[in-house]
Amino acid sequence: MSAPLLTDVVSHADILDAAHVRTFDQALDNLLSTACAESAFSQLLEGLPTEASLRQSFWYLKSHPVYQLHHAEVSDSARTKSKELRSTFNKSRLVLDFTGEYLYHS
């Protein structure tokens, strides 16, 4: 059986059977529920990384606003908004771009 060549952006529900959609959705829920994902999403919502996060991914730059503001933790409101958005995230609207790629590889 030849693999379909997808030439458009599609939802995971369009290409997976019901059992695999549930498995995919559960895996995505597990991923989004991790402390790391919550922290990263909260920082995105706040518009500023924490000092620790910045140190892990960028060389030290004394003049960076994160250090000037002593941004050690994200705000409670950003964490709350992050959890709210995660709980209302509609996985059926998630789209995967397989343009020019084969879905199945032999």
Instruction: Output the pLDDT for position 101.
Output: 54
Q: Contact, 102 vs 5, CB < 8 A?
A: yes
Q: Quick one: DSSP state of residue 47? A: T
Question: pLDDT means per 10 residues in the chain (106 residues)?
Answer: 53 83 91 93 93 84 86 94 92 71 52
Instruction: Output the pLDDT for position 99.
Output: 61
Instruction: Output the pLDDT for position 49.
Output: 92
In the chain, where are the structural domains located?
5-102
Q: Contact, 3 vs 102, CB < 8 A?
A: yes
pTM, full prediction? 0.70
